[in-house]
Amino acid sequence: NAGVTQTPKFQVLKTGQSMTLQCAQDMNHEYMSWYRQDPGMGLRLIHYSVGAGITDQGEVPNGYNVSRSTTEDFPLRLLSAAPSQTSVYFCASRSSGAYEQYFGPGTRLTVT
Amino acid sequence: GENVEQHPSTLSVQEGDSAVIKCTYSDSASNYFPWYKQELGKRPQLIIDIRSNVGEKKDQRIAVTLNKTAKHFSLHITETQPEDSAVYFCAADRMDSSYKLIFGSGTRLLVRP
């Protein structure tokens, strides 16, 4: 199993550009989520999904969209990038019947 | 909304001493409390967790205690070693279909040789 994978590892965007961060898991986990981690801070929940076709907002959803068309994939879309979205983004997943959450390796995003 | 507060933000201890990190949570429905260790440039890694029906759990040099009445839980690391130096995060979750794992702001632990 590859676990939770994220692409790209690094990305630089200009203000106003859009892009999609990819997240995939091969563990058949129902639950998936996106977090952002700013320097010196904890992880803040952006959006989450409890199954294909079901998504909901977390603590800091503004400026981001998600969709969940398959169990495996949970992409995060930045509609119009802003410097305030410079951060490290982590995707995570867990089984609905288990406790442990698995994190992907992260995507470091810089918006200039 | 749900909130998890974590203290201290930085902690420096001498090798061999103990370290204690404390967290409080606001959502009384939370019933799962994991602790993560994050090394520089890496993803968070689960090191220990506790569920609401348990007051204390130990795993070698680390232990976690939970006081549900006061809504706080703590991480204890004994006999600290330089490789314990990292950022530690607490978190809280209801473990229901809402799936909202909320994190504290982190504690940077430095273990001085």
Reply yes or no: is the peptide bond before residue B8 cis, omega within 30 of 0.
yes
Query: What is d(CA B109, CA B11) in angstroms, rounded to the nearest whole number?
Result: 5
Query: What is d(CA A97, CA B95) in angstroms, rounded to the nearest whole number?
Result: 9
C-beta of residue A111 within 8 angstroms of C-beta of residue A19: no
pLDDT band at A2 (very low <50, low <70, confident <90, very high): confident
Mutation test of the interface with chain A: which of B7, B21, B49, B99, choosing the one with the most A Cβ atoms within 10 A?
Answer: B99
A77-97 pLDDT, tens digit per residue, is 999 999 999 999 999 999 988
CA angle in degrees (0–180, nearest 5) for B47-A56-A66 = 90
Summarize the confidence of residues B18-24 as an average pLDDT: 98
Indicate yes or no: CB of B46 within 8 angstroms of CB of A100.
yes
